[in-house]
Structure 1
Amino acid sequence: MTSPPLQERKKDVLRPLPDSYSPQYVEAAWYPWWEKQGYFKPEHGRKSVSEPNPRGVFMMCIPPPNVTGSLHLGHALTNAIQDCLTRWHRMRGETTLWNPGCDHAGIATQVVVEKKLMRERGMSRHDLGRDQFIQEVWKWKNEKGDRIYHQLKKLGSSLDWDRACFTMDPKLSYAVQEAFIRLHEDGVIYRSKRLVNWSCTLNSAISDIEVDKRELTGRTLLPVPGYKDKVEFGVLVSFAYKIEGSDEEVIVATTRIETMLGDTAVAVHPADPRYQHLKGKMVVHPFCDRKMPVVFDDFVDVSFGTGAVKITPAHDQNDYEVGNRHNLAFINIMDENGLLINVPPPFLGMKRFEARKAVLQALKDLGQFKEIKDNPMVVPVCSRSKDIVEPLLKPQWYVDCADMGKQAADAVREGRLKIIPDHHLKTWFNWMDNIRDWCISRQLWWGHRIPAYFVTVNDPSVKPGEDMDGHYWVSGRTEDEAKEKAAKRFNISTDKITLRQDEDVLDTWFSSGIFPFSIFGWPNETQDLSVFYPGTLLETGHDILFFWVARMVMMGLKLTGQLPFKEVYLHAVVRDAHGRKMSKSLGNVIDPLDVITGISLEGLYAQLNDSNLDPVEVEKAKQGQKSDYPSGIPECGTDALRFALCAYTSQGRDINLDVNRILGYRHFCNKLWNAVKFAMRSLGDSFVPSEKAQLSGQEGVSDRWVLSRLCAAVGLCNAGFQAYDFPAITTAIYNFWLYELCDVYLECVKPVFSRAEEDSVSQSQAAVCRQTLYTCLETGLRLLAPIMPFVGEELYQRLPRRQSQDASASIHVTSYPETAEFCWHSEEVDRQMDFVMTVVRTIRSLRADYNLTKTRADCYLQCIDSETVTLVEQYSLQIQTLSLSQTVQPVPATGAVPEGCAVAIASDRCTVNLMLKGLIDLEKEVAKLTVKKGELEKQMEKLRERMEKSDYKEKVPVKVQELDAEKLRQSQTELEKAKEAIDNFMRMM
């Protein structure tokens, strides 16, 4: 549905509400109107953002989604929570900014554009060259990169789009360059040759977050890019190294047999008695003349295998550290493409996993192969390319995190930074207290190119010093600045200096790490930087606590001297209704837009057919979809989805999302719709709300009770927002609207409105009820608006306004209800109504027992004391209305109740007597109940016989025994009820 223009939309709200709630109708046009009116801008209603605001400032930046991204339920959860908070702060009158942005997503974007190039033009990026390829990426970004912004708008996200930032924008790129140069000049950024996570397919180092840990239980064949056949993993190969000058051998084991070509030692534990005689001995490599020492190191596990371990310092993290401790040789046997180098023929030039087979066969031929067996293990897989990640020794740029990590940990320990929920503190301190230096260089073309230059000095009089050694680097904002720095360092003229800029780009997390202040123009002293930095809150998923949150804290403290935010709220991870991780191959990945608009099962199948899954996985996924969504996903709407996501956040680290629950909240929207429709009819066209929401003193018991409940809901909602307790907010709103306003108050006022035409007393009472009803609707919608922005706005615009309110304003710039404004909470009235509702539920239960669906019966309430009699008299109209009774009459404890009543105890203060005589055929009821009693007795006898058998407890599963016991208990209860009813009817006859 296309959105009508603004004028049309404003006319539209003057028409009557459509008969039923339609998400498509409600959500069609409000968003462009909100944007056009500037409601999402912090300047709205102020001269400028720097104008002092006694209410304070709220600033939060969005976790920038990848430019390649498409909306998923994780985004939906993040944005539902963040938008609720933003709208709440805005309605509280604070200068409010929620700043949007998008991440350039180095690897993901490069992969997408490379695939597109190959698919459409049969070209690689190398065929195009760096400059032209980057132009292609920008072209793709400008055509496709805003897609996720449009999807975020569908979720109702109230972001200030005029401040949207892309991490490759000139303003942000300048900040990234400045951050690198400052940290390099301070010695915090340095260059070092170490092991990195290497993807041979991407030809780049990748971060830990881009490595999926695939757990194997044993031998498994996995597909690897660039290999026709699947490759074997999950096995442990044992082979022998010969001790130099003897026939003795040492048996070692490995899961990566090809790496033995780079072995430079064998390690054993210093206390292992089996190998003490090998001190000072060497082992001989079988494929070359390399002699390798036996080293003694505590890291060796004596109980694993033979207690002897092969050491490959250039291809394993543990071995790398052993190599450093024992000054071993580091032999790199693999190039960037995964081809073998620095190895003897016939292995030289082989692909790494082809060499795996060749080395195994060669060891067998030499007689040094021992055995191969299943081995549970974890295989590191590149999340982008699905390649097997290799530890590779490469020179890279690093950030020294020791001091920054300590400062970040101290900020939390000292309470300057708060992490919510606090069960994440253990993870935070574990990371910060044991932090490693951060590899920030990536071998990509798309991204922020590192502003560092390799220096060559063209002057024979300058002897390579400590800094030179062929590896001197200098950083600079321009090449000229870098030359000046290098010339000054060596005290020569710039014409004697030649520079070559590093080809690498920075890790995407580096630019994301300075996002909270780069978006405001840092390092320049801008107005936005002074007003909105530091921010108030960061809200994100706990899975990027280290990769993003920690780095923002470290970079913020280091580069600005301030924490980037005061609080971090970490939400849970969304899983499917069965608690499974979202996975395309399971068919349980839900697109939020499909929940919003609805989709058929065939439509879900079509999406799978368009995916990159192989045919077997597609069929498996289709079965999953058919099981979970046999009729597809019904249209739920944005408001219902947001409400469900907020209601679910109580589940801790994981959220198991059931689409049926979301549909339940769509029905809740329909209930709101019908309540407002009824209320609008009851208020009438001439209704004028009072100037303020206040008690007149004329309110009846129902009015006082519902206003007391409204006041309680206001308190719960505000407390919930302050504590980030979203389920408390949704529960308070749901309970007030559904169980208190709709189920009780609206039913109580219907007879008041119907009698209003009869006499002046009823008219006066109805007028008070109308003011109460209006206050409930208007305040209830304001409570609801941050979570359900569309239906909240639609219904609010239908209501008349108090004189103090702007008739044209959006609900989202009106004030959020506060307890001080609604101080009507009465514990006494609440207690009284609790008693009344207990009586009503008891009467309803009796009516159901005797099938009095349409017949109204007289009800006699036997009260224990005069106080209870007075209470029943006071609330008799409410009890009569809500219980569908003909009459309600209090009876003192000593008073007599007419014969012919069914009896039930409501509480220790009141017994319900429901007159049945003359309303039902007693003989027929007795006959029916007698048959039921006989059936129950037979069932119970049969069940007891089964349970009393001698082998029952041994042969029948415990769960079945528990079910049988429960069936027996239920049957016993039903039998007692049937007997009681028969006795009751017999007395009446």
Structure 2
Amino acid sequence: MTNAATPPIRPDEMAKAYEHQPVERPLYTWWEQSGFFAPRPDAPKPPFVISIPPPNVTGELHLGHAMFVTIEDLMIRWRRMQGYQTLWVPGTDHAGIATQTLVEKLLRSEGTSREQVGREEFLRRTWEWKAKYGGEIQNQLRRLGASCDWERERFTLDEGLSRSVQTAFKRLYDDGLIYKGTYLVNWSPNLQTAVSDLEVEFETRQVSIWHVRYPVINADWAGPQHPWGSGRWAEGATQWITVATTRPETILGDTAVATPPGDPRFSDLLGRSAVLPALARHIPIIADEYVDPEFGSGAVKITPAHDKNDYEVGKRHNLPQINILNKDATINAEGGPYQGMERFAARKAIVQDLEREGLLVKVDPHTMSVGISQRSGEIIEPLLSEQWFVKTRPLADLALAAVREGRTKIIPERFEKVYYHWMENIEDWCISRQLWWGHRIPVWYMPDGTMLVLGPDETPPEGAVQDPDVLDTWFSSGLWPFSTLGWPEQTPDLATYYPTSVMETGYDIIFFWVARMMMLGCYLTGTEPFHTIYLHGLVRDEHGRKMSKSYGNVVNPLEVMDAQGTDALRYTLATSGTPGQDLNLNPQRIEAARNFANKIWNITRFVISKGVRSSDANNPLTMLSLADRWILSRYHRLCLDSDRLLEGYNFGEAGRQMHDFLWGEFADWYVEIAKVQLEGSAEQQATTRAVLYTVLEGTLRLLHPYIPFITEEVWQYLTRVEGQEAAASHSIMLAAYPSGDAALLNPQAETDWDLVQTLIVAIRNIRSEYKVEPAKWVAATVVGGERVTMLREQAALIARLGRVDLQRLEIVESIAAKPTQSAAIVLGGVEAYLPLAGLIDLEAERVRLRKELEQAEADVARREAKLDNPSFVGKAPANVVQRERDSLETARAALASLRERLAEI
């Protein structure tokens, strides 16, 4: 740890209200400058390591970032306080396509392009852009309180990580796992590069399906005798086969027509040839299991170079692969008369020509899922292209074994099935991209055609030309857990902190990132890169909708933090859901979390105002009241439950229990009790101060990983020593995390206090029901039965908290007869009676209740009459009738309650 900086200076007294703005930034600066985020070599427990999912340098903070930062920082702060040697490695991703797109947009605004400026100048401009904007995301992560070790910050294009990438590529190539080949890829015409499956989004669209008939060759007709466009092109044909397509332009690349095996409709056509419209190419009619006999006519066109399924059919039947598109999605020379047309213009022209030639049978509306480029927004084109690939089967088998054998655990467990399914059916991975920004493929070509794959310490010979493509961003990010620690060099960090502990990320990228880290980590390092994969859900709006600008429901976390405080946002994200489930972000929950921070401030301010100091922790607990024993037992139970829940990754439930305890039990009950006990003897006062300090200080430590700013701030006030400067390393984030002591659980005290608390609440409810003035003290008789002794010991608290006159509070074992004209309370074996004459003006109350009774009887009668009306019951919608029946039951219950209360008086 570096020498700690000076802690932020605080006024001698706490302000009346908590203001997050002046607190958060100074605290974070102090933490970071003090070196608190670095792993402590003297930590008593082993390393606990998380590699941050590296945000794109192009990015602006969004709720996905806020979610993973909250959960990962929670884990890191918790483990740090537990004594683990914690390391959270921060960093950013170069984000090849995203960054290049932004820089190209900048160049276009200047009236130029990357092609015009050239590769070297374009890369210089991109690094310049990264230097200017790349730091914004790190500063935004700091806003969230991320306690990363910023001294170890990494970037995927750093020299060290680039060395890791080149080493990994060469090793995989030398081992026969990287190869170059021509296959179908997702092609982005605007970006003119292959893109990963992750960069393709699917939209349901209404399209057309065109039914086209192809003439069939027979003994009497060998093919077209007239030119295309004559309106007589297929003259003489006597047999036809009809196919259905949503992409008429791909007719130009057809190399077969396929039919279902054994289908009698096509048995006489198998082995013969159809004639391709426009081009007059003869293509075979084949049978294949892929064909759905219920789709269209039962026959389909096969275009191996432009459809994934057709590609597989083509491989099975050894069909030619004819690519009809240029990289910009215009028709190439294979398109005959349509050469040079943009793909959708060609579609329109081909449809018109088919109709003129009498080959268009019909056009039907059709709903289908269309692949859209995430980055450029245009329709993705399946395209046959020469690319570099990784053979994934050997890598996937290693990654599968790591999970199956329990070396890596997936949370929630249900995602294991998803992981297995994808890994078992994995396809080879296209790793080349036709971009300039990224890790350039470490392959060089000699003038004689020789190909050289070089490692990071090898120099290409003179005359060698490097492959122009760069690697898929997921290749470098797949090395992230170990490249950031120095691999392939055997660095001290790699030896100490690898494998890492937990990979926490969204379930939506389990395939694209998590799976690649598992495959590459297992293969290249010989061990799985982490022992736990924790998957959080997506953040949606309060109605469960995906956040989208079109919905107008996008929540900017920076604006939330400015308005409500970082702690409010963090606590809401951490506690509003469960592992792997999508979270519906309700603005009211954020407001409630802000109120929770204010409550913590007010509780601490009150406790300090009562003279509670850190020295009170040393007071002997020799005079514990029932309330003292109860709150201490509840506190230790909370600690034990929190430990169990956190170890099980149930962060939401643990945080909710902490909130309920601090607000619902400590603040609402024990603090009120303490006000009474602090009026007692010196010994009781000392004990009460000790309990107040112990429970509040411990609960602040429990909550610190969730809400680090408010807990640090109030903890500093609570724990400071009078007349002394706080030690530079005096921080809650370095304090021990509470573990709980099972020996201090006191079930009897909890049971006893539960009865006392329930009795007080019942008395308060009666006061509220009868609208008794808050300042008025009332009389009560409590019949305690077997609990009479315990209840008598609590008489002072029952009186004070229930606003009962202690002189008129009777606590007896039994009574001969129940008092008349009294409000009764029955709590199991305990009863209580409050004389109504002392609560209210009985005659006035009778008048009021009779009036309410008349109104209630009329309401019930009206609803009964409505439901007795056959016309209403028979004609109204079922839900309306049921709603009326429910309302009747509610009205009847209210009427019964009024009758009971009137009978009591």
Q: TM-score range by the shorter chain?
A: over 0.9
Following superposition, the deviation at residue 698 of structure 1 comes to 1.5
Structure 2 partner of 1:531? 496
Is 1:347 paired with 2:338?
yes
> CA-to-partner distance for each residue in 1:521-552, whole Å, 9 max, x for gaps?
11111110100011011110000101000100
SS at match of 1:274: coil
Following superposition, the deviation at residue 898 of structure 1 comes to 5.2
More displaced stretch, 797-806 vs 949-958: 797-806
Following superposition, the deviation at residue 895 of structure 1 comes to 4.3
The count of residues paired between Structure 1 and Structure 2 equals 880
Is 1:42 paired with 2:39?
yes
Q: Distance in 2 between matches of 1:884 and 1:25?
A: 41
Is 1:965 paired with 2:885?
yes
Structure 1 partner of 2:802? 883
> CA-to-partner distance for each residue in 1:280-321, whole Å, 9 max, x for gaps?
200011212311000111111111111100011110011111
Is 1:141 paired with 2:68?
no
The 8 Å contact of residues 710 and 776 in structure 1, kept in 2 or not, is answered as yes
CA 1:881 to 1:271, structure 2 compared with 1: closer, same or farther past 3 Å? farther
The 8 Å contact of residues 79 and 157 in structure 1, kept in 2 or not, is answered as yes
Partner letter of residue 825 of structure 2? A
Q: Distance in 2 between matches of 1:983 and 1:20?
A: 48
Q: Distance in 2 between matches of 1:344 and 1:749?
A: 88
Any residues of structure 2 matched to 1:259-270 within 5 Å, and which? 259-270=250-261
Structure 2 partner of 1:851? 771
Is 1:688 paired with 2:615?
yes
The 8 Å contact of residues 444 and 452 in structure 2, kept in 1 or not, is answered as yes
Is 1:335 paired with 2:326?
yes
Partner letter of residue 728 of structure 1? E
SS at match of 1:721: helix
> CA-to-partner distance for each residue in 1:703-739, whole Å, 9 max, x for gaps?
1111111101111221121111012211221111111
Partner letter of residue 592 of structure 1? P
Is 1:289 paired with 2:280?
yes
CA 1:642 to 1:853, structure 2 compared with 1: closer, same or farther past 3 Å? farther
SS at match of 1:259: helix
Q: Distance in 2 between matches of 1:439 and 1:841?
A: 67
SS at match of 1:773: helix
Q: Distance in 2 between matches of 1:812 and 1:664?
A: 24
> CA-to-partner distance for each residue in 1:933-980, whole Å, 9 max, x for gaps?
000111110100011111333322232223222222222222122222
Is 1:108 paired with 2:98?
yes
SS at match of 2:265: helix
SS at match of 2:293: coil
Q: Distance in 2 between matches of 1:164 and 1:28?
A: 20
Is 1:868 paired with 2:787?
yes
SS at match of 1:503: coil
Is 1:639 paired with 2:628?
no
Partner letter of residue 911 of structure 1? E
Any residues of structure 2 matched to 1:128-527 within 5 Å, and which? 128-216=117-205, 218=206, 234-245=207-218, 246=221, 247-457=238-448, 473-477=451-455, 481=459, 499-527=464-492
More displaced stretch, 896-905 vs 361-370: 896-905
Percent identical pairs in the alignment equals: 41
Any residues of structure 2 matched to 1:107-126 within 5 Å, and which? 107-119=97-109, 121-126=110-115
Is 1:57 paired with 2:47?
yes
The 8 Å contact of residues 855 and 919 in structure 1, kept in 2 or not, is answered as no
Structure 1 partner of 2:731? 810
SS at match of 1:585: coil
Q: Distance in 1 between matches of 2:25 and 2:101?
A: 36
Structure 2 partner of 1:15? 12
Structure 1 partner of 2:539? 574
Q: Distance in 1 between matches of 2:573 and 2:391?
A: 39
The 8 Å contact of residues 412 and 418 in structure 1, kept in 2 or not, is answered as yes
Which of 631, 643, 647 lines up with 1:718 in the alignment?
A: 643
> CA-to-partner distance for each residue in 1:441-484, whole Å, 9 max, x for gaps?
00000000000123443xxxxxxxxxxxx6x532013796555x
Is 1:679 paired with 2:679?
no
The 8 Å contact of residues 76 and 88 in structure 2, kept in 1 or not, is answered as yes
User: Where do 5+ consecutive residues of structure 1 fail to align?
Assistant: 219-233, 458-469, 484-494, 598-634, 757-761
CA 1:802 to 1:406, structure 2 compared with 1: closer, same or farther past 3 Å? farther
Structure 2 partner of 1:29? 26
Partner letter of residue 674 of structure 1? N
CA 1:32 to 1:530, structure 2 compared with 1: closer, same or farther past 3 Å? same
Partner letter of residue 134 of structure 1? L
Q: Distance in 1 between matches of 2:628 and 2:482?
A: 51
The 8 Å contact of residues 507 and 580 in structure 2, kept in 1 or not, is answered as no
CA 1:26 to 1:878, structure 2 compared with 1: closer, same or farther past 3 Å? farther
Q: Distance in 2 between matches of 1:942 and 1:78?
A: 56
Following superposition, the deviation at residue 11 of structure 1 comes to 3.1
The 8 Å contact of residues 244 and 282 in structure 1, kept in 2 or not, is answered as yes
Structure 2 partner of 1:621? none
What TM-score, normalized by structure 1, do the two folds share?
A: 0.87
Structure 2 partner of 1:540? 505
SS at match of 2:564: coil
Is 1:903 paired with 2:824?
yes
Is 1:768 paired with 2:687?
yes
Any residues of structure 2 matched to 1:612-651 within 5 Å, and which? 635-650=563-578
Q: Distance in 2 between matches of 1:719 and 1:236?
A: 57
Following superposition, the deviation at residue 652 of structure 1 comes to 4.6
Q: Distance in 2 between matches of 1:518 and 1:953?
A: 72
Partner letter of residue 363 of structure 1? L
CA 1:109 to 1:370, structure 2 compared with 1: closer, same or farther past 3 Å? same
The 8 Å contact of residues 747 and 881 in structure 1, kept in 2 or not, is answered as no
CA 1:651 to 1:159, structure 2 compared with 1: closer, same or farther past 3 Å? closer
Partner letter of residue 596 of structure 2? F
Is 1:704 paired with 2:629?
yes
Following superposition, the deviation at residue 805 of structure 1 comes to 13
More displaced stretch, 243-252 vs 101-110: 243-252
SS at match of 1:276: coil
Following superposition, the deviation at residue 29 of structure 1 comes to 1.0
Which of 814, 833, 840 lines up with 1:893 in the alignment?
A: 814
The 8 Å contact of residues 891 and 897 in structure 1, kept in 2 or not, is answered as no
Following superposition, the deviation at residue 802 of structure 1 comes to 8.5
SS at match of 1:584: coil
Partner letter of residue 672 of structure 1? I
SS at match of 1:954: helix
Partner letter of residue 699 of structure 1? L
Q: Distance in 2 between matches of 1:722 and 1:504?
A: 45
The 8 Å contact of residues 779 and 838 in structure 2, kept in 1 or not, is answered as no
Structure 2 partner of 1:611? none
Over the aligned positions, Cα root-mean-square deviation in angstroms equals: 2.0
The 8 Å contact of residues 130 and 445 in structure 1, kept in 2 or not, is answered as yes
Q: Distance in 2 between matches of 1:874 and 1:479?
A: 82
Following superposition, the deviation at residue 520 of structure 1 comes to 1.0
Which of 671, 676, 696 lines up with 1:746 in the alignment?
A: 671
User: Where do 5+ consecutive residues of structure 2 fail to align?
Assistant: 222-237
